[in-house]
Every structure is written in C-alpha cells, then in structure tokens.
Chain A
Amino acid sequence: MAERIGLRVSRYRPDTDSEPHWSEYEVPLRKEWTVLDGLNHVKNEIDTTLSFRWSCRMGICGSCGMNVDGEPKLSCGTFLTDYEPGPITVEPLANFPVVRDLVVDLSDFMAKLPRVKPWIIHPDDGRTVEPDVEYLQTPEELEAYKQFSMCINCMLCYSACPVYGLDPEFIGPAAIALAERYDLDSRDHGQRLRLDVLIEHEGVWGCTFVGECTRVCPKHVDPASAIQRYKLKAALQTVKAFLLPRGAR
C-alpha cells in the first residue's frame, strides 16, 4: 500500500472566484481513514481555508455528503483505500448551488420538506389526542414504514437525481420518501393532505424512475420505490374520483 494519496478538491471562494477551481493535496493513506479524515487532515495540517460540513463521522447526521469521484457519498463512510492509487476527486454535491468550497446551499430542500407535512397528523373528526397518551403500535405496524424513516436528509439522492438537476421545481426523492414514511404510519391521518401536494406535476409525476436515488442512498431508504408507490396511489385516487360519487371516495 502506498503511503500517501492525492485529493483533488473543488474550491470556490465567493468573494474572489467567479467559478470553482481545483486544489490538490497529498494526505496519508491509512487503512482506517475516510475521505472526511483526509479532508480534516488538509484542514488541520495543510490548508486551513478549506470549507466543508461534517459532524458525527458515523453516517448518522447526514451533513458530510460530497461527490467523490463523481458519485454522491457520505465522506465519513467512504474509505481512501477504495480509491487507490488516486487521486480522489472531491466536489460539492451536484445539483445544488455552492456556497463555498464543498458547502452547498440546502434552502431549496428546506422549503420543500414542510410542504409534504412530514409529521403525524391527527384525525380531523373532532377527536382530540391527549398529549400524554401513548400511541401504541404493533411490530408489523412499525415495520410498514421503518425503512422510509431511516432517511437522514443527507441530500445524496437529490445530487444523483437528473430530474432534480434539470427541473429544480421537482419536490425530490427524500421529501417523497418522508411523505410515504408518514402515510404508512398507522397513527397518521394525513394521507389526503400529502396526496394533494404530491399529485401535482412537480410532485411524484416529475419522477421518471431513473433509480439513482435508491442506488446512492447510504441508509437503504429506497426513495425510488416510495415515489412509484405514490404514483400508484395517485393514479388510483384519480380513477376513484372519476368513477365514484363524491361521498364514496
């Protein structure tokens, strides 16, 4: 194993640069080091001006997403040794505006997320739920949505999605997967409200099932599946609205 590996890092400084350029660094190549460890080595020992987001270093917080050799990855879970002999290209997540170096602007997602109402909605039949009453669920009821609840909002799926890149109005994979997470929850009564948002063109119908969101998801959420299931629900709702009288829908 070589002792060092090159990192080719995309740099953008908004106060001086009109577009990104590359900076190259050499970092120690250690078996247990991830790309994030490499970047932290650069930040601590070589170039303190390098900016990037990170927090937990264990694939939970979802803040260190970057494009590593063109693939969206959590840099804390991507090992340097897998890219031998290098150099490893590190860029900010694609499809997002770049704030500085590897830091991207997530305000678009932050604005979209509440539109799908990712929280438990109470029934609107006048029944009130006491705040201190436990909502009980069986293991089967938990299993129904658990997979979609694993999303950590790391934005790798948005970075991999060409539809989002071409049409930023598209509400996107993670937001739809989270809508499905609450829809499948036995305690929730908000399906209708979410469908109203997702049935629009920029909702589920924007998706052309490229499937990259699922491939890059570090938590195996499978957003592509959530979107296609939603399409089925939306289509059935349209057919019902067409065939059935108002009260029966």
Chain B
Amino acid sequence: MTDLRLYRPRVSTWWWTRKRSYLLFVLRELSSIFIAWFVVYLLLFVRAVGQSEAAYQRFLDWASAPWVTVLNVVGLVFVLLHTVTWFNLTPQAMAVRMAGRPVPAFHIVAGQYTGLVVVSGFVIWLVTR
C-alpha cells in the first residue's frame, strides 16, 4: 500500500460547545457532582439530627448561610436535569419485554415518574406527619 500522508484533525478542547446535545451531555455529567453534594448534605443533616437539638440548630444556621442556599439552589437545578435526562435515557438502556412484547418507551419513562411521585409523597408524609 502506498504511504499515505494523512491529515489528522485534532479535537478542540471546546468540542462540547459546538452542539446543543454535546453541551447537554457535559452538563449531565457535571450534575453527578451535585448529586454527590446532596448526599453529603443529607448525611450531615442526619448526623446533626442524631447528635442533639443544639447540633441540629447549628446545622440549620449553617444551612441558611447565603452561600449554602445558593449552592443548594444551583444543586437542585442540576439534580432536576440529572433526573429528567436519565429518565429519558432509560428506555434505551433497558429493553423491557412483557408477555413477549417490548414495552413502549413512554411506559418505562412514565413508570419512573410514577415511582418518583410515590417516593416523594412518602418522604413528604414522613416529614410532615
């Protein structure tokens, strides 16, 4: 074979700004950091509740500091993005069959939202009862 003088294009560092879908993907990947943050936040909360009333009060004071509030609001937006994007992707990852027929993608996504509503309802009931 002849020796080819190939041109090898390089991928730009900013490749993810080129398309909306790439940007959304990178934001979705980034959202996992905020998922981790919410886990840490929840653990700190549970620990404070378990320690004493004073510790719980200290946690509340800390949690209402402006920077924590801003972080949590940004975190919530990313967690919502994480949930919606992954829920939408689930039918592609799971080929569910029932009674020999593939379950339509819409039903799988709807099932997840139903699960989310049920779990959220239980948590709300648990906290407010």
Would you list 17 pairs from A and B whose C-beta atoms are within 8 A, ordered by A residue? A12-B7, A15-B5, A19-B7, A97-B7, A98-B8, A99-B4, A99-B6, A166-B11, A209-B89, A209-B93, A211-B92, A212-B21, A222-B92, A224-B92, A225-B95, A229-B94, A231-B93
Contacting residues, chain A, for B15 (C-beta < 8 A): 162, 165-166
Distance between Cα atoms of A208 and B24 in the complex (Å):
13
Q: A162 with B6: in contact, given A211-B89, A211-B92, A222-B92 (CB under 8 Å)?
A: no
Flag if A229 contacts B9 (CB, 8 Å): no
Flag if B21 contacts A211 (CB, 8 Å): yes
Chain B stretch 97-116: residues in CB contact (< 8 A) with chain A: 100
Q: Which of B18, B92, B100 has the most CB of A within 10 A?
A: B92
Distance between Cα atoms of A162 and B95 in the complex (Å):
25
**B1-21 to A contact mask, C-beta < 8 Å, 1/0:** 000111111010001101101
Contacting residues, chain B, for A140 (C-beta < 8 A): 100
Nearest neighbor of B6 in chain A, beta-carbon distance: A97
Flag if B11 contacts A97 (CB, 8 Å): no
Interface residue tally of chain B, by bracket?
A: 20 to 34
Nearest neighbor of B102 in chain A, beta-carbon distance: A143
**A66-79 to B contact mask, C-beta < 8 Å, 1/0:** 00001000000000
Q: B22 interface residue, CB < 8 Å from A?
A: yes
Interface residue tally of chain A, by bracket?
A: 20 to 34
Flag if B93 contacts A228 (CB, 8 Å): yes
Q: B37 interface residue, CB < 8 Å from A?
A: no
For residue B77, give the distance in angstroms from its CB to the closest CB of chain A: 21
**A227-242 to B contact mask, C-beta < 8 Å, 1/0:** 0110110000000000
Contacting residues, chain A, for B41 (C-beta < 8 A): none
Contacting residues, chain B, for A99 (C-beta < 8 A): 4, 6
Q: A210 with B93: in contact, given A12-B7, A165-B11, A166-B11 (CB under 8 Å)?
A: no
